[in-house]
Amino acid sequence: MSNNKFKTTIAIWMLLALTAVLVACNPASAASPTGAANVGGITVVGQGEAFGTPDQAQVQVGVEIFAPTVAEATSQNEATIEKIMAALTALNIPATDIKTTNYSLWAEQIYGDKGPEGIAGYRVTNQVNVTIRDINQVSDVLASVIDAGANTIYGIQFSVADPAALEAEARAAAVADARVRAESLANLANVSLGDVVVISEIIGQPIAPMGYGGGMAMADMAAAPSVSPGELSYNVQVQVTFGIQ
């Protein structure tokens, strides 16, 4: 046997030995297409929803002042904000639940036929976000800050302080919905549904308000404005892969 033929024979035997080792280490890879490793599956997306009553709210309370000078505008604005803070304190709203979200100062121009002709005055806006942890206080808070001088109220947002129970309820409904969908597909395909192989939650925006969720109130609004918290819905989606038999 020539030297080249001998080398070729050795290489073939080594390749066969390596293949045997790989198959022994991973027998599932050698299974037939109809074997357990390749039975396929059914993948569906289940949806679940739970409803709850809000127990807290957030509201943007603001003061907008226009005055001829910067000093007048800022001092009037600050005096009004102090009255609003005092009104919130009287309602037992803690300082930790009051956060400034916007403070702005700008000059307003006088415009003529040829463009800007000077400064008419200065406008100061100061807005704070107030968290109201007692849902029954919402109307009282609005009335109090309006009486204190607030002339803008934006975006009343209702929420649930601890949504864990709603999350769990919606998640359970989503899993049940996924099974119903998978069973329907299995029946259509004339196969039997197996165990869950993979399951994952689709992360999105779960809380959706279903009641009064915004608006604007002015300082001349009637006392104790009426608001309706409505209901919140919590939505969950899960993707589930079932085996088939």
pLDDT digits (tens, 9 = 90+) for 23-55: 444 444 444 444 444 457 999 999 999 999 999
| Stated pTM of the model | 0.66
Superfamily of domain 39-52+161-211+230-245: Protein of unknown function (DUF541), domain 1 (3.30.110.170)
| Average of per-residue pLDDT across 233-244 | 95
Q: Of the CATH numbers 3.90.245.10, 3.40.50.150, 3.30.70.2970, 2.40.40.20, which one belongs to the domain with range 56-159?
A: 3.30.70.2970
Handedness of CA 131, 134, 135, 138 (dihedral sign): negative
| Beta-carbon-side half-sphere exposure of residue 226 (alpha carbons within 13 Å) | 0
Per-domain residue ranges for the chain? Answer: 1-38, 39-52+161-211+230-245, 56-159
pLDDT digits (tens, 9 = 90+) for 189-213: 999 999 999 999 987 655 555 444 4
* Highest mean pLDDT: which range of 35-39, 116-120, 181-185: 181-185
Distance CA 25, CA 118 (A): 85
3-state secondary structure of 209: strand
Both tokens assigned to 72: 């007048």
Cβ(70)–Cβ(88) under 8 Å?
Answer: no
Distance CA 54, CA 162 (A): 10
| Average of per-residue pLDDT across 131-140 | 94
Cβ(125)–Cβ(64) under 8 Å?
Answer: yes
